[in-house]
Chain A
């Protein structure tokens, strides 16, 4: 039995991902501070409209509104008892939307980070993290998602915990990390590290990649980092629509649809096969991305110069691969 995402990847060279969830929900009137997942219950029509926005823009997949739908995140709003239900509804609305589209569209169950730091650095045990992911994934699967999609992860332990949870449920999955700190994830994971991590897992994901992070340029550099490590699995790119700017008391993302079209082409040239957006990406961006991808053939891996010329400079000099930027300090003797 093949899952729908694997089926589409076998048929097609590239797939168009979806856009943002959070920033689009804010545009629909989500109040800051409200957990978006609660809208699955209170405003199912708007969640359907969010999904339809991606579907009508031509996406081949979309993520459910369940990013913060785990025990630890919902507990901040005293909704920790509703993990299963809120996730199930997020998925059900998605299933209906996909089935009504008349196309093959992957409903991907979004699973975000727990927001906690795992042992030994932090306090959350690996097993508790697995339980949290598993509880959420159960709800998503009950609602009919085609694939589980863990995203915006920083710590390798947390990525592994999600993988373990999905393994326990025998569910197909993909996973992406955010590379936002000098080319690495906040917890220091490089592009090369993530390739090694996914290849080493007993239940490898269908695809892996990068989402969110800083700007589109940084994300493309991470993709090239993946490519250098010769990954066997398909690569996912979900970059932000530019960088948020505070202009005259208003905030807007500076990525235009044209720029996101350029980003999509460069992402494909850099080796990505599933190409979407993250924060700030609206349906009009997706339309431009699809048009760009359909109008031009895949090219060679872009150079760093080509990326910064098209999309702007990088947030740091290096992508973090190839050791620390400066030599480690001289260590003194230590007891054995």
Chain B
């Protein structure tokens, strides 16, 4: 692979080769190369939004599929997410400047009583890697902390995580409070954690239960798209 002849000069590639190459570089977690690709596309006049959606987000979607299928594992996915984040850092101010639609903002944290945060951290990292904005509330969040953050941040998505069977019922308390205050429909509510399942997610009134971080990303993308479509009606 490392033959001299195999050396690639990204800036010499036409767009239709550069974009797939960037996806491969994302897949391999090559942050500097992804950043270089983003800068080249900007120079070529691509809009920041097109670079984000057509190169980076699509590239991360492939990573997500292979994670789901057991081909990639967490370390590879986090490296890819890190590379994606490198590209995002460049695009972020430009996206704001150009008024591009944002992918979505998620408030995330483990529920009151739950101190197990590794799953939540993985979801946060992968969501960020997929281009979402993340507000991480950390562990042990009560209903007020979630709801205050959702409002203050103007978030689109609420993500709640629990590892303990004793703490997962608290998710229902948060959702019930959203319902009581008439704010339930303002947010997409995603729940996850080892002892949960789809049935539980439905029973407590979440929009979806997400089995793992890759599913969380896919579900968030899908539900955000549906929400936008609804808004356009």
Residues of A within 8 A of B (CB): 22, 26, 31-33, 35, 68, 73, 76-77, 113, 115, 117, 120-122, 154-155, 180-182, 184, 186-188, 244, 246, 249, 251, 316, 318, 320, 324-326, 328-329, 331-336
Contacts and interface: CB of A to CB of B under 8 A. Distances in A.
Interface string B172-201: 000000000000000000000011010110
Contact of B24 (A73, A155, A180, A331): A331
Given A32-B112, A249-B169, A331-B28, 16 more contacts: A31-B113, A68-B115, A113-B118, A115-B117, A121-B74, A180-B194, A181-B73, A244-B165, A324-B70, A324-B71, A325-B69, A325-B70, A329-B27, A333-B1, A333-B6, A334-B28
B79 A120 contact: yes
B215 interface: no
B20 A332 contact: yes
**How large, as a class, is the contact surface on chain B?**
35 or more
A33 B113 contact: yes
28 contacts: A31-B113, A32-B114, A32-B166, A33-B167, A113-B118, A115-B117, A115-B118, A121-B74, A122-B78, A182-B70, A186-B73, A187-B74, A188-B76, A244-B165, A246-B203, A326-B69, A329-B27, A329-B62, A329-B66, A331-B1, A332-B20, A332-B21, A334-B25, A334-B28, A335-B6, A335-B8, A336-B4, A336-B6
Contacts, number: 114
B8 A325 contact: no
Interface string B120-135: 0100000000000000
Those 8 A-B pairs whose CB atoms lie nearest each other, nearest first:
A32-B113, A188-B73, A336-B2, A251-B165, A33-B113, A182-B70, A244-B195, A244-B165
What is the interface of chain B mostly: helix, strand, loop, or mixed? loop
Given A32-B114, A329-B27, A332-B20, A246 B75 contact: no
B71 A326 contact: yes
Contacts of A181: 70, 73-74, 212
Contacts of A318: 70
Nearest to B110: A33
B39 interface: no
A64 to B, nearest CB: 18
Nearest to B71: A324
Contacts of A334: 1, 6, 8, 24-25, 28
Contacts of A186: 73-74, 118
A224 B131 CA distance: 41
B7 interface: yes
Contacts of A73: 115
A336 B4 CA distance: 7
A104 B130 CA distance: 54
B166 A26 contact: yes
Q: Which of B6, B7, B164, B212 lies at the interface centre, i.e. has the most chain A CB atoms within 10 A of its CB?
A: B164
Contact of B75 (A121, A251, A316, A331): A121
A22 B167 CA distance: 13
B144 interface: no
B70 A320 contact: yes
A26 B73 CA distance: 32
Given A325-B69, A334-B24, A336-B7, A117 B78 contact: yes
